[in-house]
Amino acid sequence: MKSYTDDILRRSELLARIINDEELSKADAAFLFKVAEVTINRDIKALRDLGIRIFSKNNKLILEEIPQTSVLISLASNYLPLKLNSDLIYNQVKAFSKTNRKNFFSKIVLASKAINEHLILELKYKRFYDGKSASYNLLPVRLTCVGFNWILYAFKEGEDIIKSFYLSRIQKIKLTNKSFDGLSLSPDKQKLYDIEFKFVPDVRDELFDKIWFESFDLEEADGFIILRTKQPITNTLSSWCISWWDAIEIIKPQELKENIKEMIACYSAKNK
């Protein structure tokens, strides 16, 4: 296992250095990664098998063209969990284990297996809005960690709207042998709104230097910055809007404004 993971790490780092215009020969790479040159030859072949046009010319490793973005994304997705797990994944699982000492492992493993193999999960879940327990049959799609909260995104059986379930609130989980066709968090499964924000000039640099959504457009008009995107209306989006204080104006939709007003009213009622 160590050899396999070392191969993934080394090949990704080698490719990153070459893309970064570092001058390396095969011998340099072997010295750098403390392996034999034959191992570097094997790495180069493995990268070529992925469609990456990497060659050695004039005693220098070069790329004939930049690899396809999809290939680089796949490599990065394999590399990051292996390289950063001690800082990210490990700490996220450790924090979750403190609140679910008995069954944190079962929840993460069974949810992951269900997603990967398209198996229906049976859950007993403690709901947020009334604190009562309810049973659901779920078609799981994705497992993510937001902060230190593990969240399972899934469709309730017979429904076509994605829902989120906190693993910490799952009271019982059962992996069934009933399979379903693969699903995704595609836009047609969520209600999306045309959203338009207007920002004051003072936040221009911050807006242009960061990625705010998976897809969005920025333009400058009459000294202001306009951000347009398509998103579902969520409390997370509403909180993001509030975090800009008076630097933001919501042009549309009205539904987002109403959601923010409701959030503020609920907060004010509890915190006078």
Q: Among 25, 50, 84, which residue terminates a domain?
A: 84
In a domain, 254, yes or no: yes
Q: What is the CATH number of the domain that holds 142?
A: 2.30.30
In a domain, 185, yes or no: no
Structural domain of residue 214, as residue ranges?
A: 191-270
Q: Among 179, 211, 237, which residue terminates a domain?
A: 179
In a domain, 93, yes or no: no
Does residue 57 sit in the same domain as residue 127?
A: no
Does residue 151 sit in the same domain as residue 224?
A: no
User: Any idea which residue has 């579902």 for tokens?
Assistant: 232
Q: What is the CATH number of the domain that holds 79?
A: 1.10.10.10
In a domain, 90, yes or no: no
Task: Output the pTM of the full model.
Answer: 0.58
Does residue 57 sit in the same domain as residue 107?
A: no
When divided into structural domains, the chain yields a total of: 3
In a domain, 91, yes or no: no
pLDDT tens, N- to C-terminus, the chain (272 residues): 457 788 988 999 999 999 998 899 999 999 999 999 999 999 999 999 999 999 999 999 999 998 998 889 888 888 877 776 555 677 778 888 887 777 888 899 899 999 989 999 999 999 887 889 999 999 999 888 877 888 999 999 988 888 889 999 999 999 999 998 866 555 445 688 999 999 999 999 999 989 898 899 999 999 999 999 999 988 889 999 999 999 999 999 999 999 999 999 888 888 87
Does residue 114 sit in the same domain as residue 175?
A: yes
Q: Among 84, 117, 152, which residue terminates a domain?
A: 84
- 24: its two tokens: 């390396």
Beta-bridge partners for 250: 197
What is the reported pLDDT for 187? 43
Does residue 199 sit in the same domain as residue 235?
A: yes
